Amino acid sequence: MKVAIAGAGNVGRSIARELIANGHHVMLIDKDPKAMKLESVAEAEWVMADACEIAALDNAKLDQCQVLVAATGDDKVNLVASLLAKTEYGVPRVVARINHPKNEWLFDKSWGVDVAVSTPRIIAALVEEAVSVGDVVKLFSLGKGSANLLELTLPDGSSCIGKNVGEIELPENASLAAIVRDGRVFTPKAHDSFAAGDELIFVASSIAEAQLKSCFIQ
């Protein structure tokens, strides 16, 4: 997956490192030469350009990106970049950073924003959760890192579809906390069955996390 990040400050670089560590291709865009700290995220593609100018975004080939993260420290820039990404380039997923709470009401679909948020770790998780069907995505760390909140979206053809929750043996130190289906959240019971597109929410240790996918997708 290719992700463009508008804004190569501390927040943008933090998001980039998180996504690169999870195997995604990241392009950092910033017009400030001082922000071009290539060594800080050496694996990223760096572009010195104004994310609010169509010519610059054309050159950056924004239309080839699956996600744009507007992560600058300026809410006006984030809104304009989001709108251009969605309307001019048809970027499927636009995630925008809110810097000032008073501007929160602006960050909606009328400005091309699919999700508005402020914390870098949450932004990275939302990017992955939206496009990573069939992969386990870490949403948060809990208990000082001893456990994680995880998400797995079941793709068509998953080996567990049609089976009951009670039929699936989870790894030790892993618990299925919730299922999200058609906008509804429910606590799974043993007789509930899995369906394609279900979003499964787990709490699991790091060791159990590595084993979860094989329980549902083979």
pLDDT in tens, 32-78: 999 999 999 999 999 999 999 999 999 999 999 999 999 999 999 99
**Number of compact structural domains in the chain:** 2
CATH code, 37 = 3.40.50.720
- Domain end, chosen from 115, 131, 147, is at 131
- Domain end, chosen from 101, 131, 161, is at 131
Q: Let me know whether 123 and 182 are in one domain.
A: no
Confidence class for position 124, pLDDT limits 50, 70, 90: low
At residue 210, the pLDDT reads 86
Q: Which residues span the domain enclosing 74?
A: 2-131
CATH code, 165 = 3.30.70.1450
In this structure, the strands spanning 184-186 and 174-181 are antiparallel
At residue 115, the pLDDT reads 82
- Domain end, chosen from 131, 163, 196, is at 131
Q: Tell which residue, 68, 113, 110, has the closest CA to residue 89.
A: 68
At residue 126, the pLDDT reads 63
The three state secondary structure string of 147-212 is EEEEEEECCCCCCCECCEHHHCCCCCCEEEEEEEECCEEECCCCCCEECCCCEEEEEECHHHHHHH
pLDDT mean over 88-101? 91
Mean pLDDT value across the chain: 88
Q: Tell which residue, 117, 115, 111, has the closest CA to residue 98.
A: 117
